[in-house]
Amino acid sequence: MGHGAPCGNVFASPSTSQVYSVARNAENGGGVILGFGNYAGDVLHFGGAAEKLRAEGIDVRIIKVSDDIISNTPENHRDRRGIAGDLPVFKIAGAAIEAGADLDEAERIALKANDATRSFGVAFDGPTLPGAPEALFHVPQMQMGVGLGIHGEPGVRDEPIGTADEIATLLVEGVLAEQPERVEGGYQGRAAVLVNGLGTVKYEELFIVYAKVAELLEAAGITPVRPEVGELITSLDMAGLSVTLVFLDEELEQHWLAPVDTPAFHRGAMPQIARPRRTEFWQAGADETPTSTEQSREVAQQIAGVLDLFEAVCVREEAELGRIDAIAGDGDHGQGMAYGTKGAAAAAKTALEAGAGARTLLVRAGDAWSESAGGTSGALWGAALISAASIFDDQAGSEPRNIVDAIDAGIDAIQRLGGAQVGDKTMVDAAAPFRTAMAEAFTGDNASEAILSAATVAREAADATADITAALGRSRVLGEKSLGTPDPGAISFSILMKELGQHLA
């Protein structure tokens, strides 16, 4: 089914380096397919890993699973979220590879499987992050959240809770609205079926739902092919379930029915095939620290102090940022910022002990932020620090303009990599006006004053994001639910810039 799985934090993408490490050791000469659910953090981190692998001459293809019908229109199927459809898409692609498909063929089949897969789900209550005092969200009594996400996102809308039969009818009708036409040599009314529990809806209840699903499919002239009922794509202790259909043709059905053997999903007997075993593995190791001057090491010490400050601030703000994010996201922004800044501060300390200059320290801190936080914020803040490093030199000191230019370079990286524009309800809504205000206020030797005045502008812009609906990221799917709440990334950016200005003053 797969040769490796990089593991990030709970509900967060694995970091670029984690994806790279797993892919680097799984690759055996035929190239790599990176498969993941279509979420912003995964797109950034898996994309970054793909760039590193391609730079080393490894052919890499990317498959973004996008089966969630509620998260975008049928015309934009490949820009939907990936939820329970991950399982059949990866199962079919893995079976094709096991049968001998090369990289081009495996990519074609994986995309074909994704384009044939549709899912729809409901939630009755939210999941609880490990150590958190309560769930990320609650569904009102006698209501259900329609259109849930698997990373703890609430439903797109609330409706009165139905019986098992009524819920099955809602989900099946939603998926069948996108049933393809039946054509000779293609789809003929046969579908792989997955009724998936998200953590607290157990097998007895899931089979009750499946009974109605099977009845509805029969009435629609559809034959279920090797249905799966159980907890296969879970979301901690989330109360909810989803229905997935893969509209099969002969090729997809062959790979859906093939044997598979993983720790949590087993079907049939795998053929015994002798394969050479890898004896040497790539390992991430600390690079040799470049030489640096005393002046650059002094600047590095100051930068490390800023990262220590950022860590303290993010720990202080973790709960509030998580609360904001839970309203129209997955509630992990506060945790991600705390993890990221902690990792960056620790990496900076280690770099100082190794005699690193300013540039090297920022690069290693950026890598550590991305590694420690995962998710979208980890990728963007990590890239920002690495981009800011280009302004400094391991062989030279610093001047006030370097600080302003470094922040400018970091914001440029955030906008370039994230692809967000002002008005999309992201960190950019605070960062872009901050950048403009800082440039207007900076006279050449008043970095702290320019940053402080720009931070006020950033906070006003961040607060104003409460009045717009999200156009990017997970909040986009929840539409009107994001109204009335500011974007957590914009808020955290404005807080850190204010703290930076006060620190420099």
CB atoms within 10 A of CB 484: 10
Q: Write the burial class of residue 332 (CB in 10 Å: 0-12 exposed, 13-18 middle, 19+ buried).
A: buried
Could you give the CA distance from residue 358 to residue 132 in angstroms, rounded to a whole number?
37
DSSP assignment of 216-228, as one string?
HHHHTT-EEEEEE
Give the bridge partners for 261, in sequence order: 266
**C-beta of residue 145 within 8 angstroms of C-beta of residue 64:** no
- Measuring CA to CA, how many Å separate 56 from each of 59, 63, 140? 9, 20, 52
**C-beta of residue 248 within 8 angstroms of C-beta of residue 182:** no
Q: Which amino acid is at 18?
A: Q
CB atoms within 10 A of CB 75: 7
| Six-digit token string for 298 | 């002094």
Q: Which residues contact 430 (CB under 8 A, 6 or more apart)?
A: 458, 459, 461, 462, 465, 487, 489, 490, 491, 493, 494
CB atoms within 10 A of CB 38: 23
**C-beta of residue 245 within 8 angstroms of C-beta of residue 192:** yes
DSSP assignment of 422-460, as one string?
TTSSSTHHHHHHHHHHHHHH--SS-HHHHHHHHHHHHHH
| Catalytic residue positions, numbered | 151
CB atoms within 10 A of CB 144: 23
Q: Give the sign of the dihedral formed by CA 236, CA 238, CA 239, CA 242.
A: negative
3-state helix, strand and coil shares in percent for the chain, rounded to the nearest 5: 55, 10, 35
Q: Which residues contact 19 (CB under 8 A, 6 or more apart)?
A: 6, 34, 45, 46, 48, 49
**Run of H or E including 364:** helix 358-373
